[in-house]
Amino acid sequence: MKNFKFSTIDQSNDIDKTQISSEQFSDTSEAKLSIEEMMKMIDMEQLKEFNPKLYNQIQEDPSQLLLLQDVLINNDYQAKAEIASQAMQTAAENLQYKPPKVYSMPFIWAYFTPVFTFTAAWLIKLQAATNIPWLPFFIVCGFGVRLMLAPLMIRQMVLINKMGQASPNIRLVMKLFKYAKMPLPSRVKNVASAIYDYAKQTKTNLVAFYFYNLIQIPVFITMVLSIRKIAYENEELFGAGVFWFKNLNEPDPYLILPIIATILNYINLGRGITKDNEHWFINRFRSFFQVLQFFHLPFTHQWPAGAFVYWISSSTFVLMQTTLLKRPWFLNKINPNFFYDYQKLYGERSPKDHENYVERLLNSEDHRLKQYTNDRYVKEELEYEMKRFLAFQRMRKVKGKTQDLATSSLTWFKSGENKTTQN
């Protein structure tokens, strides 16, 4: 034994560390070693440097080694066990062996484990059928799923025109629902009936309009958690990465992928929000989820890199998609009045417009009263002048008819006299 350090070692602890059974140790301790054999187990040169006093004692009386026989035997077995353990660890690393990972679902998503298991199985079959490496396969999945949802988004852009027509009435109904003093079941029933009637009048299918919003989030969560499951359970993803994330089934050691995914989501949720429309309810809702993006990092930063590859690919497609929506040539083909309809559907009055509301209301009421009073005087004057004109016209008409009647009577009387004279 070359590396010997003398110390008072508890034999029971050494047996636990080297994983030697009590029977093996007892058999070994009963075996007697000669002084020559024990001298071979000690590197005397190292002992001289490490403890000169002990070295001199053994040199003067080698028989003292008989008192240390158990310590030397235990140390020899401990060294052999450490060498064997190191050899096994090196062999395992060379074989790229990884201990089995325990896959667990976060929070309430554990109830949907069968869905994620089914989706993961189909993704594995699809990858095996296409024979695409895992890294580009996850990227293709991110773009492909969003591309399949794109027609639903385009249909929503078309239907927003009809939805905008029913929007004012629906808003009124929701305010009545909020402030009405009816029982909750009655309010829900009346609101549902009114919204259905408005949608029917404008020929709008509410399910078709909101289907894109309702389905895109569940699809995204299903795909991310399914790929996370594949990464945890499939060893083929080991070494399938690039750059700094070499293994798709292990977390990003520098947290670059989680941060990129979070920033992309933050940008996508914030696009289109300006100071003029940040008070809209839908934009306040989106701003809330913007901030919420940074709170999932403590829970997701240890997810495997494969899940974030899909996440980043999907968010990149959304970024490109929203950029395309602002292009005039694209809007002209889908809905030229999209932004007007969007504002009509979701727009709200700014809080600044409510300042001095009472004063503006009184001023407008005063102006309206003045206008009404002025219009009333004008109307009375017009009526008075019209009555005078009509009386004058009636008098002229009566006078004219009287003259005509007198003339015709005089003519008839003269004609009668002439006939009498001739006879």
Q: Which residues are bridge partners to 208 per DSSP?
A: none
Q: Would you place residue 19 in the very low, low, confident or very high pLDDT band (cuts 50, 70, 90)?
A: very low
Q: Is the pLDDT of residue 23 over 50?
A: no
d(CA 123, CA 129) in angstroms, rounded, equals 10
d(CA 187, CA 203) in angstroms, rounded, equals 24
Q: Residue ranges of the alpha helices (H) in 43-68?
A: 44-50, 52-60
Is residue 105 exposed (0-12), middle (13-18) or buried (19+ Cβ within 10 Å)? Answer: middle
Per the model's pLDDT, the better-predicted residue between 190 and 92 turns out to be 190
d(CA 41, CA 53) in angstroms, rounded, equals 19
Q: Quick one: tokens of 10?
A: 């508890």
pLDDT digits (tens, 9 = 90+) for 347-369: 766 555 544 544 555 555 555 55
Q: Is the pLDDT of residue 318 over 90?
A: yes
Q: Quick one: tokens of 170?
A: 């629906």
Q: Is the pLDDT of residue 317 over 90?
A: yes
Q: How far apart are the first and last CA of the chain?
A: 181
Q: Would you place residue 400 in the very low, low, confident or very high pLDDT band (cuts 50, 70, 90)?
A: confident
With contact defined as beta carbons under 8 Å apart, do 314 and 142 qualify?
Answer: yes
Please name which of 57, 238, 46 lies closest in space to residue 134, comparing C-alpha atoms.
Answer: 238
**Predicted local confidence at residue 73, as pLDDT:** 73
C-beta neighbour count of 368 within 10 angstroms: 10
Per the model's pLDDT, the better-predicted residue between 36 and 160 turns out to be 160
Residues of the chain with pLDDT > 90, as a percent, come to 21
Per the model's pLDDT, the better-predicted residue between 410 and 235 turns out to be 235
Q: Is the pLDDT of residue 131 over 80?
A: yes
Phi, psi of 251 (to 5 degrees): -65, 155
C-beta neighbour count of 344 within 10 angstroms: 16
pLDDT digits (tens, 9 = 90+) for 197-224: 877 777 777 788 888 888 998 999 999 9
Please name which of 249, 254, 252 lies closest in space to residue 100, comparing C-alpha atoms.
Answer: 249
Q: Would you place residue 334 in the very low, low, confident or very high pLDDT band (cuts 50, 70, 90)?
A: confident
**Predicted local confidence at residue 208, as pLDDT:** 80
Residue 368: CA atoms inside 13 Å, Cβ hemisphere, count? 6
Q: Which of 173-187, 219-233, 257-271, 336-350 has the lowest mean pLDDT?
A: 336-350
DSSP 296: S
Q: What is the pTM of this model?
A: 0.59
Q: Would you place residue 18 in the very low, low, confident or very high pLDDT band (cuts 50, 70, 90)?
A: very low
With contact defined as beta carbons under 8 Å apart, do 335 and 161 qualify?
Answer: yes
> SS3 for 31?
coil
Residue given tokens 């809905």 in the structure block? 335
d(CA 105, CA 112) in angstroms, rounded, equals 9
Q: Is the pLDDT of residue 237 over 50?
A: yes
> SS3 for 251?
strand
Q: Residue ranges of the alpha helices (H) in 252-356?
A: 256-270, 281-292, 297-300, 305-325, 328-334, 338-346
